[in-house]
C-alpha cells in the first residue's frame, strides 16, 4: 500500500506540470473584469447564493484547494475580511499571485499539503470553502476532514460544492457514455498521465496523478467523524465540472451531477 505522502507528492508534480496548459488560456483582463463586475465572482449562481445565505461579509475565510486563486479572490470580492487560499501546487499559486496583483483584492496564498499543514496556520476561520475537484484527489478522507475541521473556529461553517459520486461511474469518452463504466463502490486509486485540464483539451503526458472515488456515505461519515455537523445536503442535476460531462444534463433518467454539503464545526 502506497503512503498518503506518495500519492500527494505525485499529484503535486502532475498539477505543476499541467499548469502550463492553464497558463496558456489564462486571460488576466477577463478574470479581473469578472471579479469586479459579477455578483459572485467565479462562483456560479448556485453556490454563490449558498455562500451569500451563509454569509461571507465580515468573515475570515479559507479555501482548501484554491488552484489559481480565482475563487479565493471571489470570497474577498464578496466581503470576507481576510482570505487564505491553500493549494499544494506552487505553479498554480504563482498564477494566483498574478491575479491577486491585477485585481487589487486582498488575499493570502499558502503552498502546503493539506495533510501536513505548517503549525503557524491558525485554526480561527469562520468559513471554509471546498469546490469542484478537491475531494477526489484525497487518498484519505478521514484525515482530510480532520485537517480541514482544524482550520475552523467552533461554530464555523464548511461549505462544499463538488461533483456527485454517482457521476464517477460514467465516462463521457466511452463508446456508450450513458452506460456505467465502473462500480459506484470502486474506491481503488486510478492512475493517469494525461494533463489535468478543464476544457477537454489534451497534450503531452505529465507525471502520473491519482484519482480517488468516494461514495456519498464515505464523504458524510468522514466529515461527521471529524466533528462536523451536517446542516444541509443538496443534490443537483447540473454539472459543475469539465465541459465533456455536459452530455449528462437534461436526460429523462437524470442522474445527480453535483452536490452542496454545508456543515458546522461542533
Q: Contact, 115 vs 138, CB < 8 A?
A: no
pLDDT at 202 over 90: no
Model confidence pLDDT, tens digit, residues 142-193: 999 999 999 999 999 999 999 999 999 999 999 999 999 999 999 999 999 9
Place of cell 484519482: 211
3-state secondary structure of 225: helix
Cell numbers given for 91: 505553479
**CATH code of domain 4-265:** 3.40.50.150
Strands 152-163 and 209-211: unpaired
Q: Contact, 88 vs 9, CB < 8 A?
A: no
- Cα–Cα distances in Å, from 122 out to 61, 65, 151? 12, 17, 7
Rounded Cα distance, 92 and 15, in Å? 8
Rounded Cα distance, 250 and 227, in Å? 37
Model confidence pLDDT, tens digit, residues 88-138: 999 999 999 999 999 999 999 999 999 999 988 989 999 999 999 899 999
Cell numbers given for 263: 456543515
* CA-only gyration radius of the chain, Å: 18
Domain residue spans in the chain?
Answer: 4-265
Rounded Cα distance, 225 and 204, in Å? 41
Using left for φ > 0, alpha for ψ between -120 and 50, and beta otherwise, residue 3 falls in beta
Amino acid at each position: 500500500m502506497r503512503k498518503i505522502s506518495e500519492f500527494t507528492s505525485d499529484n503535486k508534480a502532475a498539477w505543476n506540470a499541467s499548469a502550463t496548459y492553464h497558463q496558456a488560456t489564462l486571460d488576466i483582463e477577463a478574470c479581473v473584469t469578472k471579479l469586479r463586475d459579477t455578483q459572485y465572482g467565479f462562483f456560479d449562481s448556485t453556490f454563490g447564493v449558498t455562500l451569500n445565505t451563509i454569509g461571507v461579509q465580515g468573515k475570515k475565510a479559507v479555501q482548501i484547494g484554491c488552484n489559481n486563486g480565482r475563487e479565493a479572490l471571489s470570497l474577498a470580492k464578496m466581503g470576507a475580511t481576510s482570505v487564505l487560499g491553500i493549494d499544494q501546487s506552487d505553479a498554480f499559486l504563482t498564477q494566483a499571485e498574478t491575479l491577486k496583483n491585477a485585481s487589487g483584492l486582498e488575499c493570502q496564498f499558502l503552498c502546503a499539503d493539506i495533510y501536513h499543514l505548517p503549525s503557524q496556520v491558525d485554526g480561527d476561520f469562520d468559513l471554509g470553502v471546498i469546490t469542484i475537484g478537491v475531494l477526489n484527489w484525497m487518498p484519505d478522507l478521514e484525515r482530510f476532514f480532520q485537517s480541514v475541521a482544524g482550520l475552523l473556529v467552533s461554530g464555523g461553517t464548511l461549505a462544499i460544492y463538488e461533483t456527485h459520486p454517482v457521476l464517477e461511474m460514467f465516462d463521457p469518452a466511452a463508446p456508450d457514455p450513458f452506460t456505467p463504466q465502473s462500480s459506484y463502490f470502486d474506491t481503488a486509486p486510478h492512475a493517469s498521465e494525461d494533463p489535468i485540464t478543464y476544457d477537454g483539451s489534451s497534450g503531452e503526458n505529465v507525471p502520473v496523478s491519482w484519482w480517488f472515488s468516494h461514495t456519498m456515505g464515505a464523504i458524510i461519515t468522514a466529515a461527521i467523524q471529524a466533528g462536523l455537523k451536517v446542516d444541509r445536503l443538496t443534490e443537483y442535476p447540473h454539472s459543475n465540472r469539465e465541459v465533456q460531462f455536459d452530455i449528462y444534463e437534461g436526460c429523462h433518467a437524470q442522474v445527480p451531477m453535483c452536490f452542496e454539503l454545508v456543515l458546522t464545526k461542533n
